[in-house]
Homo-oligomer: A and B are copies of this chain.
Amino acid sequence: MPKQHYPEVRALGLFSGMTDENFFALMRGAYVQNFPPQIELISEGEPSDFLHVVLSGSVDLFSQWNGRDTSLATVRPISTFILAATIKNAPYLMSARTLEKSRIVLIPSQDVRSIFDVDGNFARAIVTELAQCYRSVIKSQKDLKLRTSLERLANYLLRQQKRAGGGAAFDLDFEKRRLASVLGMTPENLSRAFKGLLPYGVSVEGTRITINDQADLERFARPNPLIDDFST
């Protein structure tokens, strides 16, 4: 892997605390690759040969069963995915595909496990990362089990609004069919759900969302940090 990419990988919480020696050892076997959109990077069930780090672009984690499929998460720079499979040396539970042109670092899982075994700081960093991932999935689980689709959409919009800076108008950051899948519904239903939020002051023009009455939407959505705050 070219040295020019070292700093951005090194800056990740996961790699910032480890010794130079171990970091270089990890990078020695790693390589960076550019992928076009819609490339399936990994498929669920395969052995976890590489830990992936998204440097730019974005990646969709999804899963299929019995002819159905669902989006489970989106990975954005700069972060890793399939860390748990790498650590456990177990098959991937999710497939991954690029959503756009993406630059991705591939680190051999074997190297990650070897260095994990000898570098306490690295092990601790992994713990922090995994704990974060775990809590995110729990939040998403609560979102799915405790809320109706309309409530999930409303809260998603509030989260997205905050991510986009907090203004009344903002853009969805991916296509609606994927949003529908993430929220656990069909594209048709997402359309209707947007209509269902109209009484609460949400207007939609293509990918542009405007929240006309913040308080009203929040009164309906009842956002909760234990579900919606993905930073803790």
Contact = CB atoms under 8 A, between A and B. Distances in A.
Contact of A141 (B91, B123, B137): B137
A105 to B, nearest CB: 20
Contact of A132 (B72, B88, B133): B88
B135 A232 contact: no
A224 to B, nearest CB: 6
Contacts of A69: 146
Contact of A84 (B120, B134, B146): B134
Contacts of A117: 124
Contact of A226 (B91, B141, B184, B224): B91
A222 interface: yes
A3 B114 CA distance: 35
A172 interface: no
Interface residues on A, range: 35 or more
B134 A127 contact: no
A64 to B, nearest CB: 8
B93 A131 contact: no
Nearest to A84: B131
A138 B135 contact: no
A140 B140 CA distance: 11
B65 A224 contact: yes
A119 B144 CA distance: 37
A5 interface: no
A110 interface: no
Contact of A138 (B45, B72, B119): B72
Contact of A145 (B119, B147, B184): B184
A24 B210 CA distance: 57
A84 B88 CA distance: 17
16 contacts: A65-B142, A70-B146, A72-B138, A72-B141, A72-B145, A84-B131, A87-B131, A88-B131, A88-B232, A93-B139, A116-B124, A116-B127, A123-B127, A134-B134, A137-B141, A140-B141
* A-B interface, 5 closest residue pairs, ranked by CB to CB distance from nearest: A120-B120, A84-B131, A123-B123, A65-B146, A130-B130
